[in-house]
Amino acid sequence: MDARQILTEYYQYANAGDWDRWCDLFAEDQVMDEQLAGHIEGLDTLRSMMKGMGDMYRVFQNRPVHFIVDSDGEKAAAVSHLSAVSASGEAIEAEVMNFFRIADGKIAYMANYHDTVPFQVLSQG
């Protein structure tokens, strides 16, 4: 699977709440620097973390706006807009930038960047 297809499925599965298939896009030894959750290493750790997504959000939609893929298909970035509703009913709107490193058809590294203020509602209530 090429980088553009991986990114397409990344957002498709996230928006469908299909976190098992979303996790399948990552390598076993994946590393993620997630702005809210911190540094996450290993696919098993990621899978465990993602089991709580349904408890954190009533609605979670992360719509890609732009994909950028380098010429060798090993590095990619996505600009997206996230619209969500927390478990307590608070709206979240944020512009997001994700960076990906792809190896052997899997996401080996991912980092995300966004304004953290809209997500403060997750710690309230």
54-70 residue pLDDT tens = 788 899 999 999 999 99
Instruction: Give the DSSP H/E element, type plus range, for residue 56.
Output: helix 53-56
pLDDT of 69 reads 96
- Per-residue pLDDT tens for 12-62? 999 999 999 999 999 999 999 998 889 999 999 999 999 988 788 899 999
User: What value, to the nearest 5°, has the Cα angle with vertex 65 and ends 40 and 121?
Assistant: 55
For position 118, what pLDDT does the model report? Answer: 72
Q: Provide the pLDDT for residue 124.
A: 61
Q: What is the DSSP string of 57-95?
A: EEEEEEEEEEEEE-TTSSEEEEEEEEEEEETTS-EEEEE
Sheet holding 57-69, edge to edge: 38-41, 26-34, 106-114, 91-103, 75-86, 57-69
Considering its fold, how many domains does the chain have in total?
1
Q: What is the CATH number of the domain that holds 50?
A: 3.10.450.50
Question: Which domain, by its residues, includes 102?
Answer: 3-122
